[in-house]
Structure 1
Amino acid sequence: MNLPERKEARARALLEAVASPPVPAGLAGRALRRGRRIARRRRRLRRAGWCALGVAVAVFAVWAMVARPWVEPPTVTTPPLQYW
């Protein structure tokens, strides 16, 4: 028997020797409900994030149309000097 076979035989013996603990009744149902609740919460958070991003883009677009930050402001110059 070589080393890999010996390790496999030892692992099988350990797994067969250990008695599996009893599983509580209804564990699968509770796990399924919890998983669905977590998935629903993540889906809601994802939708809320996309909605917040959409609102932010809309607000930015309205601000850009009103403020027009790409237009240079008029230069401030002194009035022409008269009666010099």
Structure 2
Amino acid sequence: MTRHEDKEAAVRRMLDTPHPPVPADLALRAVERGSRRARRDRAARRVLWGLFAVAVLVFVVWASVERPWETPPARTTPPLEGW
């Protein structure tokens, strides 16, 4: 037998055995856990969008005050030539 056939035979043996019992409230627990996770994800998404909006606002205020697109004024005067 090849290795693939060995694995296939092992799977067939496992499937031929009786299945273990499933708890009666398994579906309810899964729904509760899923809804809890969805609420947590939704809250995290709202917080991240809020932080993004605050970051954009801070950038706009900084850019309007600093005006980084303008050239800074010269710190020294140009040399006087031709007098």
* TM-score after normalising by structure 1: 0.71
Tell me by how many angstroms 1:65 deviates. 0.4
CA deviation map 1:55-78 (0-9, x unaligned): 101100011001111111110124
Between the aligned partners of 2:64 and 2:77, the Cα distance in structure 1 is 30
RMSD: 2.5
For residues 1-84 of structure 1, the aligned pairs below 5 Å read 11=12, 15=15, 17-78=16-77
Gaps of 5+ in 2: 1-7
Q: How many positions carry a matched residue from both structures?
A: 72
Q: Deviating runs (4+, > 6 A) in structure 1?
A: none
Q: Which amino acid aligns with 1:25?
A: A
Gaps of 5+ in 1: 1-6
Between the aligned partners of 1:41 and 1:14, the Cα distance in structure 2 is 38
Tell me by how many angstroms 1:25 deviates. 2.1
* TM-score after normalising by structure 2: 0.72
Give aligned-pair identity as a percent.
Answer: 55
